[in-house]
Structure 1
Amino acid sequence: MSIFSRIAGLLTGGAGAVGAAAANLRAALAALSDSDLRRQAAFAIAMIALSAKMAKADGVVTRPEVDAFCRMFTIPRGEEANVSRVYNLAKQDVAGFETYARDVAHFLADDAGMLEDLLDGLFDIAKADGAVHERELSYLARVAELFGFDEHAFARISARHILGNGGDPYLVLDADPSWDTDRLRRHYRKLVSENHPDRLIARGVPEEFVRIANDRLATINAAWDRIEATRLSTPA
């Protein structure tokens, strides 16, 4: 059974309104005895619900944003309706996004990596129409705050998405420009290892979301390429 079918099962029994859906899902997740399944379901629900709510953060749902949402998933045939059910319930009330963010922060409190994966996915949705709009950025900053990320961490994450060409390459890598090239290279290789898609799956992110890790790794590689090219072209 896919994670989406399991989520559909959690939605049965009175989840006819957004507020009721949030409360019912919170209780159903807490009741799951399998901790791995609970984490996977919490991640998937948060990704769907927070994506749906953010789609109206700039005042309108655009087709590129909806398409980007669909591309975030490798949706098994026949599961589209289950995903759409969560999406449609959540998008009815943008004001309720903080409830979902607080809930997933609670369920994934011991894994900042999974919470960062969620933020990366939300940024991908936000920039699908070509730009991250001011209200979307405010939305993402608030979600990051509820997830427990400080301003520097949010700046590092957002640099991967909104500053163009991968943003400030040193900020993307969370590296100090004063480091020598050997230290930077070791740091870069460590990031590549830590952000390999297999690591994402191993820590509990549903495999349907592996694109998040692929995109992040590509950005890390691009940032390193820019740093390396600049240093090679600069006389010692």
Structure 2
Amino acid sequence: MGWMGKVVGGTIGFALGGPLGAIFGAAFGHVFDADAALDAGRIHQRLSTIEQHQLTFFVAAFSMLAKLAQTDGRVTREEIDSITGFMENDLRLDPQSRNAAVNIFRTALNSPVTFDDFSKQFYSMFHNQPQMLELMIDILLRVAVSDGSMNHAEERLILSAVHTFNLSSSVRFEQLRSQYVQTADKAYALLGCLPGDSDDEVKRCYRRRVQEYHPDKIAAKGLPEEFTRFAQDKFREIQDAWEQIKTARGIK
């Protein structure tokens, strides 16, 4: 039974602390209260390390997206549509997971906890896993531009997460952002290299990215299974970028 099943079954004895724990408790506490009334003798199960990482990622993603949506003081219909589209098209969440995501999103919207509070707790969990940190920035960027553009308030908030995650290189942020902008450098951005790099350097970047972002390896680090399709799409984008660069450069 994964973390989602334990939430639905009301069998989690220990989940999260801190700001994300507050969101989790407010969003799902009623599940455990109801179950306790029905079966006070139920033995609660602890989350495994992987499950705790998965729960942290899931709660953090939709909590941070909620704060991103309201960064200009209001949540527009277009922003809600962007979040809904991300759930349905990028993640393809099943009804159970989608309801959980919506519950977290709404709870975070109404919470006084800040975006920075969420990003700091996320960093404390994944500080030694840069792939997971970059995936979170990737998610924020993808949703921010899904309505056609990213406004200055959204960019400032995402940049604050970049700095919290110690991904503060302006070059790296531009590479991450350019993945969603139609430029000649997009393929290089996906590999984490520059157009002026040598063929050998481009090959090294490609091999590193393939190793880091293989969906199975990411899942083993705590990516929720609900985000597996997102990781698979990311992996395919890296492969496609390599083929594009390889053809353009005549690399064998």
The residue number in structure 2 matching 1:47 is: 61
Contact 1:56 1:94 (C-alpha < 8 Å) held by counterparts:
no
Give the corresponding residue for 2:52: 38
Task: Tell me by how many angstroms 1:5 deviates.
Answer: 4.7
Aligned partner letter, 1:60: V
Q: CA deviation at 1:225?
A: 3.6
TM-score by length of 2: 0.73
Task: Structure 2 unaligned segments of length 5 or more: list them.
Answer: 14-18, 30-45
88, 92, 112: which is aligned to 2:130?
112
Whether the aligned pair in 2 keeps the contact of 1:11 and 1:24 (CA below 8 Å) is no
Q: Give 2:87's aligned amino acid.
A: C
Deviation per CA, 1:2-44, whole angstroms, max 9, x where unpaired? Answer: 43354565999xxxxx99834958xx9xxx6632221111111
Give the whole-Å Cα distance in 2 for the aligned partners of 1:76 and 1:52.
Answer: 20
Aligned to 1:204, which of 222, 231, 234?
A: 222
Q: Distance in 2 between matches of 1:211 and 1:120?
A: 14
- Partner residue in 1 for 2:172: 153
Counterpart Cα distance in 2 of 1:182 and 1:196: 21
1:6-85 equivalences under 5 Å are: 6=6, 21-22=22-23, 34-58=48-72, 59-61=74-76, 62=78, 63-71=80-88, 72-85=90-103
SS in 2 for 1:129: coil
Alignment partner, residue 15 of structure 1: none
After TM superposition, give the deviation of residue 179 of structure 1 in Å.
3.9
Residue type of the alignment partner of 1:146: T
3-state DSSP class of the match of 1:228?
helix
CA drift at 1:178 = 4.3
1:51–1:69 CA contact under 8 A, matched in 2: no
Change (3 A) 1:22 1:228: same
Change (3 A) 1:73 1:180: closer
The answer for the alignment partner of 1:220 in structure 2 is: 238
Q: Letter of the 2:130 partner, please give it.
A: A
State the Cα distance separating 1:153 from its structure 2 match.
2.8
Q: d(CA) in 1 for partners of 2:126 and 2:20? A: 21
CA distance in 1, matches of 2:115, 2:11: 19
- Give the partner amino acid of 1:67: T
Q: Which moved more, 1:117-126 or 1:152-161?
A: 152-161
Counterpart of 2:182, as a letter, is G
* Deviation string, structure 1 residues 123-160 (Cα, Å, up to 9, x no partner): 22112212222221111111121222112332222222
1:3 paired residue number: 3
- Per-residue CA distance 1:155-177 (angstroms, 9 max, x = gap): 2222222x215744334322244
Please provide the CA RMSD for this pair.
Answer: 3.4
Q: Secondary structure of the equivalent of 2:146?
A: helix
